[in-house]
Amino acid sequence: MYTDPIADLLTRIRNAARANHETLYMPHSKTKESILKVMKQYGFIEEYEVEGTGAIKTLGIKLKENRPEINLKRVSSPGQRIYIKSEDLKSIKKGLGIQILSTSKGIMSNVEAYKSKLGGELICEIF
C-alpha cells in the first residue's frame, strides 16, 4: 500500500518514459484521471483510458512516441501541503511547462487557474 497515489502516478510515468515503454497501467482514481486529463490537454501524454467496471478499474496510459524527456515534480505532499494564490502563479520554462493545481472548481493547469482567478493546492509541475 502506498501513501501518496499522486506521487506514485508521477513516478510510474517517469519510469515508463525512461524505460521507453509505450503504455503503462495503474489503479484508477478520480484524482489521477483528472491529472491525466490535464496532461493530455497540454500534450504530455498521448492518450489515457479507464478499463474495467465497478469497483475495480485501471488506467491505461499511452505515452507519446519520439518524446523529449519529461520532468515531473511533485510539489505538495500529504505531509506538507503547498497552497498558492492566483496572483502568484507563474509560467514554467517560459510557457513550455505547466503547474497542476487542485482548486475549488476541480483540477486544472496554472493557465486556466490564472484566467479564472483561482488559487489552490499546487500538486505538481511538468515540463
Domain co-membership, 91 together with 47: no
Domain co-membership, 16 together with 56: yes
pTM of the model: 0.94
DSSP 76: S
Least confident window among 1-5, 23-27, 38-42? 1-5
> pLDDT at position 2, please?
75
Domain co-membership, 14 together with 33: yes
Compute CA distances 2 → 7, 8, 44, 79, 93, whole Å: 9, 8, 25, 14, 31
Domain co-membership, 80 together with 100: yes
Of the chain, the percentage scoring pLDDT greater than 90 comes to 85
> pLDDT at position 1, please?
53
Structural domain contains residue 67: no
- What's the pLDDT tens digit per position in 36-53? 999 999 999 999 999 998
The domain of 96 spans 72-126
Residues 6+ apart with CB under 8 A from 54: none
Number of domains forming the structure of the chain: 2
* HSE value, Cβ hemisphere, 13 Å, CA-based, for 1: 1
Task: State the amino acid at position 45 in one-letter form.
Answer: I
CATH code, 15: 3.30.1370.30
